[in-house]
Chains A and B, each alone.
Chain A
């Protein structure tokens, strides 16, 4: 039986190995049945999955998983929008982000994002019945959106530089910047903006998530085990 227990990850064996070994010895009474072996093997596989990346505790929180999952979906939608508006249907050479048409579009996107972050907080509250789950889920979603949004722009700017660099606002800003390379200028701007965006969206996501959690709560304040997180 000892070789089977060695299949568990080190962190698990250090914490539970001795007592688990004793239990297996008590249960098996010296004989290793196939049912017991399969159960121990499944337990070892589960412990590896749980312990992956050393983030067991974080991922054990349903609010964190809610924020990650919803943040990924929103990021995917944003990525599609970024490609459509910057590559497939780019602005004309004389159009600017400050034109009323684009200002309204931008405001609408921000408003929609705010509503989604409120909804994420509400969903986390309904899932766990804890007010604190709202800001956690909203904050995590905000960070995911900021990181993946920044990565999306970095990829688009570098892969489609010939299209992106024709944008009026980018040309004007680049000309005034003193940089000699449009590619490096855009990358640097994006990275600097990304750092600010991560902090800002973490805070905004947490606040809006808290708002959602405060406004909505689950209909029945009860728990059901065994349901997917």
Chain B
């Protein structure tokens, strides 16, 4: 499983997966949680563009709806893909920070 090919929904997908790593959430809870930990406000259209793709790839799964709000859960494949991505992002960040430090 990977996050390749998500186009402009790549970054929102990472935010959604990171939020779901902290527990199941429905759309509104996702938006609020992402705003809190990342300072990014996702619109409903963007959020569901990412959720649609993540669900198609089996990275998240929908749980039974609570009235009209449906929670989503991170799957094992989603957790693995998120971990891969975050490790890579950390490796890149470390290199960038080291080079910035060396240059200054």
Stretch at the interface among A20-28, A85-93, A164-172: A20-28
The 26 listed contacts between A and B (C-beta, < 8 Å) are A18-B65, A27-B28, A27-B44, A36-B44, A39-B43, A39-B44, A39-B45, A41-B45, A42-B46, A43-B45, A47-B49, A47-B52, A50-B52, A62-B2, A65-B5, A128-B4, A223-B2, A223-B85, A223-B88, A224-B3, A224-B85, A225-B4, A225-B10, A225-B13, A225-B85, A226-B7
Contacts of B65 in A (CB 8 A): 18-19
Question: Does B46 lie within 8 Å of A128, measured CB to CB?
Answer: no
Give the docked Cα–Cα distance between A128 and B2 (Å).
6
Contacts of A47 in B (CB 8 A): 49, 52
Question: Does A40 lie within 8 Å of B5, measured CB to CB?
Answer: no
Give the docked Cα–Cα distance between A212 and B45 (Å).
39
Shortest C-beta distance, A19 to chain B (Å), equals 4
B31 within 8 A of A: yes
Tell whether A223 pairs with B45 under 8 Å between CB atoms, given A18-B68, A27-B31.
Answer: no
Q: How large is the interface on A (under 10, 10 to 19, 20 to 34, 35 or more residues)?
A: 35 or more
Interface string of B51-68 (1 = CB under 8 A from A): 111001100000001011
Interface string of B84-95 (1 = CB under 8 A from A): 110110010000
What total of chain B residues lie within 8 Å of the partner, measured CB to CB? 39
B79 within 8 A of A: no
Shortest C-beta distance, A60 to chain B (Å), equals 5
Q: Say what secondary structure dominates the interface of chain B.
A: helix
Question: Does B4 lie within 8 Å of A229, measured CB to CB?
Answer: yes
Contacts of B34 in A (CB 8 A): none
Q: Which 6 pairs, one residue from A and one from B, show the smallest C-beta to C-beta distance?
A: A43-B45, A226-B10, A39-B43, A225-B10, A229-B5, A222-B88
Question: Does A22 lie within 8 Å of B68, measured CB to CB?
Answer: yes
Question: Does A226 lie within 8 Å of B8, measured CB to CB?
Answer: yes
Interface string of A42-57 (1 = CB under 8 A from B): 1110110010000011
